[in-house]
Amino acid sequence: MALRPIDNSLPIAPERLKKHVKVVSVPIQKQSEVGVNDENKAPLPPSTDSTIDYISSDDLKPISDPESKIQGLIERLDSKDWTKVCESLNNARRFALYHSSLLLPFLEKVMLVAVKAMKNPRSALCKTSIMASSDIFKVFGDQLLDSTINAFDNLLLQLLLKASQDKRFVCEEADRALNAMVKSVTPLPLLNKLRPYVSHSNPRVRAKAAITISKSVSKMGLEGMNEFGLVSLVQMAADLLNDRLPEAREAARNIVTSIYEAYTRNEEQKQESWQNFCQSSLPPIHAQSMVKITSST
C-alpha cells in the first residue's frame, strides 16, 4: 500500500496547536506604582522626599556661635534648592527655640518663607514648614500679632487649608500647629483673626476654623467673651450648628457649652437667665437649639 505524501497546506487542528504554545504571564505594574507621568495630569516630582528627616522639637539642638550664623540663615532661606530651604527652616526652628532674640528681627521673613513653602507641592517641604510654624507659635505667641508683622494672616490661612486637605500626614501636622497656636496666642485677638474663616466657601476650612475657635473660647472667661461680643459669639455658634459638616456642628456645640458655663457661673437662676439671653439675642429657632444643647449641662 503506497504512503500518501504529507500535505503541509492543511490547517493544524487547534487542539494540536495549543500543545505547542507556551503562555508567559507578565505582571502589569500600575501607573501609580511606577511613577509614570500622565500627559493629562501635572508632572510628578522626583521621589526624593523620603531623604528629608522630620526632626521633632525635642531633638533639635542649639546652634554653635549663633550670632555669626543668623545672617547666613536668612540668605539660605531664599535658596532655589528646596532641600536647602528645608534645612534652613529646621535651623530657623533651632534659632526660635534656643536663640529667639536673634531670630526676632527676621521673624516676618521666616514666616513668609514658611507660607511659600506650604504652597509647594513637595510634601517634605510643606511638612517641614508647618513644623517650623508650630515652634514659632510656641516661642513667640502674642508677639506674632504685632502690627509690624503682617505675615500672620497668610500663615493662618495656609494652616487652615493644609489641615483641610486629604494628605493625612500634612493634615495632622497642620492640626498640631493650630493647636500650638491656640495654646500660645491670647484668645481674644486670635478669635478676631479666625472670625472670617467660619464663612469660608470651603466647608472643610469652616470646620477647622470652628474647631480652633471652640478650643480658644474654652480658655476664655465671661469678661473676654463680652469684650469680643457675647451676642456675636452666640450668633456665630448658631450659624455653625447648621453647617454642612458634622465637625463644624460639633465644634459649635462645644462653643455653646463654653459660653453657657461662663455665662451661668455666678447666676442663681442659671437656666432661666440663659434662656432669656438666647431669646433676646437670636431668632426663636436658634434660641431653642441653644437651650436644648445646654439643658443637660
- Asked whether 86 and 52 are in contact (CB, 8 A), the reply is yes
Q: Is the model's pLDDT at 296 over the cut of 90?
A: no
Query: 4 or 103, which is more confident?
Result: 103
What would the grid cell of residue 106 be? 527676621
Over residues 30-36, mean pLDDT: 37
Residue 207 CB partners (closer than 8 Å, separation 6+): 164, 243, 245, 247, 248, 251
Q: Is the model's pLDDT at 109 over the cut of 80?
A: yes
**pLDDT digit string (tens) for 163-196?**
999 889 999 999 999 999 999 999 999 999 999 9
Over residues 227-241, mean pLDDT: 95
| pLDDT at position 147 | 75
Assign 5 a pLDDT band (cuts: 50, 70, 90): low
Over residues 203-225, mean pLDDT: 96
Query: 40 or 267, which is more confident?
Result: 267
Mean pLDDT of the chain: 85
Assign 231 a pLDDT band (cuts: 50, 70, 90): very high
**pLDDT digit string (tens) for 18-27?**
444 444 444 4
| pLDDT at position 265 | 85
Question: From CA 89, how far away is CA 92, in angstroms rounded?
Answer: 5
| pLDDT at position 53 | 79
Question: From CA 52, how far away is CA 86, in angstroms rounded?
Answer: 8
How large a percentage of the chain has pLDDT more than 70?
81
| pLDDT at position 239 | 95
Assign 295 a pLDDT band (cuts: 50, 70, 90): confident
109-113, 253-257, 272-276: range with lowest mean pLDDT: 272-276
66-70, 84-88, 214-218, 292-296: range with lowest mean pLDDT: 292-296
Over residues 258-274, mean pLDDT: 82
Q: Is 138 exposed, middle or buried (0-12, 13-18, 19+ CB in 10 A)?
A: middle
**pLDDT digit string (tens) for 62-100?**
999 999 999 999 899 999 999 999 999 999 999 999 999
Q: Is the model's pLDDT at 102 over the cut of 60?
A: yes
Assign 150 a pLDDT band (cuts: 50, 70, 90): confident
3-state secondary structure the chain: CCCCCCCCCCCCCHHHHHHHCCCCCCCCCCHHHHCCCCCCCCCCCCCCHHHCCCCCHHHCCCCCCHHHHHHHHHHHCCCCCHHHHHHHHHHHHHHHHHCHHHHHHHHHHHHHHHHHHHCCCCHHHHHHHHHHHHHHHHHHHHHHHCCCCCCHHHHHHHHHHHHCCCCHHHHHHHHHHHHHHHHHCCHHHHHHHHHHHHHCCCHHHHHHHHHHHHHHHCCCCHHHHHHHCHHHHHHHHHHHCCCCCHHHHHHHHHHHHHHHHHHCCCCCCHHHHHHHHHHHHCCHHHHHHHHHHHCCC
How many C-beta atoms lie closer than 10 Å to residue 16's C-beta?
8
- Asked whether 225 and 217 are in contact (CB, 8 A), the reply is yes
**pLDDT digit string (tens) for 36-63?**
334 344 444 444 444 677 899 999 999 9
What would the grid cell of residue 33 be? 506604582
Q: Is the model's pLDDT at 158 over the cut of 80?
A: yes
Question: From CA 93, how far away is CA 76, in angstroms rounded?
Answer: 14
Assign 268 a pLDDT band (cuts: 50, 70, 90): low
